[in-house]
C-alpha cells in the first residue's frame, strides 16, 4: 500500500475515534444559561466509540399495595394526559425490583460495531471491533428478531454483531437508521432469542419515580448491569445540534460507557425509554437522558417500513438573523439594526418547493403557520414534528423590509437543510 494511502487510512480512523470521543464526553459551554446541556450533536449524544456513554434507565412505577412491614411505600398521585389519576411509587421493595428486572433483562443485548481495517504492508483487509453498546429486542416474528439501539452505536459499521443474554452471538443487518433521532433498528435470527421487551407509555412518567437502567457498561464483561435512580425530569428539551432539540427523559441512574441503546423500564417491566445521552464532566454527576418510548415507537416503525425517516423539505439554506452584523441587517435585508430574531434564506435550491413558492435569497422568515420563528432550530422543529411531506405551510416573510405571506408545499427532505 502506498504510504500516503496508509496515512489517509490512519487519519480516517483517528477522525472516527475523535468523533466518538466527542460523543462520549461533552464539555458544555460555560456561559450558557443551562450550561450542562450540549450544544452540538457531537457533544450531547453519547457513545459509538470504543465504549459508549448513555445509561439505560428503568422507570419503576409501583402500586400503593406493595408496602411491606420493613418498607413504607411513599406515593404521589399524577394525572396522565387522559386525566385519569394514577398512583405512582417513589420507592420499590427489593422483591419487586428483582421481578421487574427478570421481565426485561434477557431482552437487553450487546451491540458490537465491527469495521474493516487494512494492513498497510500486505494490503489485506480484516475486520475488528470498533465500538460496543447496548440494544433492546422489541419484536420477534417469522423467525426474525428486531433490536432497537442508538444510531451512534452502529455508525460506520461494516458489520454488526449482537450478543444475547444466553451467550450466543448473532450477525445482524441494519434495517434502518436515523442520525437526527439517534435511533437504529437491527434484524437478526430469532432462533436463540428468549425474551422480547414490551414498550410502555413514557408520557405517564413523573419526576421522582424510581428508575432502573439495564445495559452493557464497558462491554460484555458487565452485560445486563442494573442501576437504580429516579426520573429527574419527565420531559427535558435537549439541544443536540445548532438546529435541533430532542425531548428526553432526564434521570440520575448511573450511566457508564457501553450503556447507549439500553432500556429504561417502568415497574411493569415495560420499556419507557432508550438511553442515549449523558453529561460527562468532572463537576457534573447524575445527569443522563433517555429517548422517550412514545417517540421511539413511531420512529422505529417507520425505519422498519422504509429504512429511513421521511421528513418535510423546503429546499433552502438558512442562517439566523442574530448571527448577522448590524450593517448586513440594515443594508442588505432592510431590517433595523437591533433586529435579532428570524431566519435568513441564504440559498434557494433550483426546482425545490421553496423555488416553486417564490422564496428568494435574503428573504427573512419570521413565522410559519402563525408560529413565531426566532431561529432556524424553531423552523426545523416545527417542520419535523408538526408537518409532513405534502402539507402546505404559510410563511411570514420580510423582503426588502416589507412583510408578505408565502404558501409553500413541503416535499421530501433531501439533505440537512431546511
- Which residues form the catalytic set? 152, 182, 260
Distance CA 254, CA 276 (A): 13
Are 109 and 147 in contact by the 8 Å Cβ rule? The answer is: yes
Q: How many CB atoms neighbour CB 92 within 10 A?
A: 22
Scanning the structure block, which residue is given the C-alpha cell 432539540? 245
Please state, in angstroms and as integers, the Cα–Cα distance from residue 206 to each residue in 83, 210, 232, following that order: 14, 10, 8
Please state, in angstroms and as integers, the Cα–Cα distance from residue 180 to each residue in 44, 107, 299, following that order: 12, 25, 11
Distance CA 375, CA 233 (A): 25
Q: How many CB atoms neighbour CB 97 within 10 A?
A: 18
Are 60 and 210 in contact by the 8 Å Cβ rule? The answer is: yes
- Exposed, middle or buried, 347 (CB in 10 Å: 0-12/13-18/19+)? middle
User: Measured over all CA atoms, what is the biggest interatomic distance in the chain, rounded to whole angstroms?
Assistant: 76
Amino acid at each position: 500500500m502506498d504510504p500516503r494511502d496508509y496515512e489517509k487510512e490512519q487519519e480516517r480512523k483517528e477522525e472516527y475515534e475523535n468523533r466518538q470521543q466527542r460523543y462520549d464526553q461533552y464539555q458544555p459551554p460555560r456561559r450558557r444559561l443551562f450550561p450542562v446541556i450540549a450544544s452540538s450533536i457531537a457533544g450531547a449524544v453519547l457513545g459509538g466509540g470504543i465504549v459508549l456513554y448513555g445509561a439505560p434507565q428503568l422507570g419503576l412505577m409501583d402500586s400503593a399495595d406493595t408496602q411491606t412491614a420493613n418498607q413504607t411505600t411513599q406515593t404521589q398521585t399524577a394525572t396522565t394526559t387522559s386525566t385519569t389519576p394514577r398512583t405512582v411509587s417513589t420507592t420499590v421493595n427489593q422483591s419487586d425490583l428483582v421481578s421487574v428486572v427478570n421481565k426485561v433483562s434477557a431482552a437487553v443485548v450487546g451491540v458490537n460495531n465491527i469495521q474493516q481495517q487494512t494492513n498497510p504492508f500486505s494490503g489485506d483487509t480484516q475486520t475488528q471491533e470498533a465500538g460496543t453498546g447496548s440494544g433492546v429486542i422489541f419484536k420477534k416474528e417469522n423467525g426474525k428478531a428486531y433490536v432497537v439501539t442508538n444510531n451512534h452505536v452502529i455508525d460506520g459499521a461494516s458489520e454488526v454483531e449482537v450478543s444475547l443474554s444466553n451467550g450466543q452471538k448473532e450477525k445482524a443487518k441494519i434495517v434502518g437508521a436515523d442520525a437526527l433521532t439517534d435511533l437504529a433498528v437491527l434484524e437478526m435470527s430469532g432462533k436463540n432469542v428468549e425474551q422480547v421487551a414490551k414498550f410502555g407509555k413514557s408520557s405517564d412518567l413523573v419526576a421522582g419515580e424510581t428508575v432502573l437502567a439495564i445495559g452493557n457498561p464497558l462491554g460484555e464483561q458487565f452485560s445486563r448491569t442494573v442501576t437504580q435512580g429516579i426520573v429527574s425530569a419527565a420531559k427535558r428539551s435537549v439541544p443536540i445540534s445548532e438546529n435541533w432539540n430532542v425531548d428526553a427523559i432526564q434521570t440520575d441512574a448511573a450511566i457508564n460507557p457501553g450503556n447507549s441503546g439500553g432500556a429504561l423500564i417502568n415497574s411493569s417491566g415495560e420499556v419507557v425509554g432508550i438511553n442515549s445521552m449523558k453529561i460527562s464532566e468532572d463537576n457534573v454527576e447524575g445527569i443522563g437522558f433517555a429517548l422517550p418510548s412514545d417517540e421511539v415507537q413511531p420512529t422505529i416503525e417507520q425505519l422498519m417500513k422504509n429504512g429511513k425517516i421521511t421528513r418535510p423539505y423546503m429546499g433552502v439554506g438558512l442562517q439566523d438573523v442574530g448571527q448577522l452584523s448590524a450593517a448586513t441587517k440594515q443594508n442588505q435585508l432592510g431590517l433595523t439594526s437591533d433586529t435579532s430574531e428570524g431566519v435568513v434564506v441564504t440559498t434557494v435550491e433550483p426546482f425545490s418547493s421553496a423555488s416553486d413558492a417564490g422564496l428568494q435569497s435574503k428573504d427573512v422568515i419570521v413565522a410559519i403557520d402563525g408560529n413565531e420563528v426566532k431561529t432556524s432550530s424553531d423552523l426545523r422543529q416545527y417542520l419535523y414534528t408538526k408537518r409532513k411531506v405534502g402539507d402546505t405551510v404559510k410563511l411570514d416573510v420580510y423582503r426588502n423590509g416589507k412583510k408578505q405571506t408565502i404558501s409553500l408545499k413541503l416535499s421530501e427532505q433531501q439533505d440537512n437543510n431546511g
